Amino acid sequence: MSQKKSPRFELRSGNVDALLLALKTTDIAALRDDLLSRFESTPDFFSNDVVALDLRRLEGDDQVALDTVIETLALLKARAIGVVAREAQRGWAESFGLPLLDSQSRRGGRDETPQAEPAAAAGPSPAEALADAQAAAQAEAKAAAAEVEAAATAAIAEAAARSLPTMLIDKPLRSGQQIYAAGDVVILDLVSYGAEVIAEGNIHIYAPLRGRALAGVKGYAQARIFCTCLEPELLSIAGIYRTAELPLPADVLGKSAQVRLAGEKLILEPLRMK
């Protein structure tokens, strides 16, 4: 078969942003009720997002009926695209028709649930000790290379975001509307529940934010979200999310605030308007 490039399609590697739903219980009926009670009142919250099901928080040999979870997500306008599982879970997880996914952290390393270490056995032989040392050195080198790559990606994203003009929106964003800015975006009116603001740079909202705001979406971890009335459904910077299920601190809820990223955690701070 000819391997020459086709003008009709292109196959290349890439990354797709997806929400990660970590399952912590085998009581699927209770899980379904929790999901519906939390998000049914905001039917556009997920807005056709793709979701990976993370099974690694389940204990031991626990198994769950993933088909019920998949159906529940579909009711909320979200689509399950795969599962992230431990080795022992993969057999039964695959039986529900979803592919196995490898979760990667935003900083380039594997995002895996730590496993209990086996009981100590007899000391390793010299050959085993050498092999372990070589493996550790290789892992260290890979981790260092991943950090360098992640830093380079962030630098490129920052340069790209800063080189583009700022988008200005002076009309309210209604439920179901989405704005995408290749750089920064300034919004002068209400962002309603179910609306979504996505930017590769910073997001400035001089009005209530009640929908979703996602800044630095291409890895620009220095991006920030500024708002004069913070009441969001979801906040995200460089892929690190915080949803409405986690109540906002009283000093920023409904007030002027900024959101920034510190490591893998979103920091919400009052914005001093002086």
**pLDDT tens per residue, range 14-52:** 666 678 888 888 888 888 888 888 776 666 667 678 888
pLDDT of residue 114: 47
**Which of 13-22 are b and which e, b meaning 16 or more Cβ less than 10 Å from the residue's Cβ?**
eeeeebbebe
**Looking at the domain assignment, is residue 232 inside a domain?**
yes
Confidence of residue 13 (pLDDT cuts 50, 70, 90): low
The reply to whether 244 falls in a domain is yes
228 falls within a domain: yes
**Domain limits for position 58:** 19-94
Q: Is residue 133 over pLDDT 60?
A: yes
Question: Which residue in the block uniquely carries the two structure tokens 């929908």?
Answer: 211
Q: Is residue 129 part of a domain?
A: no
Number of domains present in the structure of the chain: 2
Distance CA 233, CA 42 (A): 9
Helices 66-75 + 28-39 axis angle, to 10:
10
Top-confidence residue, 104 or 33: 33
Give mean pLDDT, residues 135-157: 67
Residue 200 lies in a domain: yes
Question: Kind of pairing, strands 196-199 and 178-181?
Answer: parallel
Tokens of 154: 């962030």
Between residues 44 and 86, which one has the greater pLDDT? Answer: 86
* pLDDT at residue 94 is higher than 90: no
Is 99 part of any domain? no
Query: How many whole angstroms separate alpha carbon 51 and alpha carbon 163?
Result: 32
Q: What is the mean pLDDT of the chain?
A: 80
**How far apart, in Å, are the Cα atoms of 22 and each of 51, 52, 55, 56?**
10, 8, 6, 8
pLDDT one-digit tens code per residue, 191-242: 999 999 999 999 999 999 999 999 998 888 999 999 999 999 999 999 898 9
Provide the CATH number for the domain around residue 39.
3.30.70.260
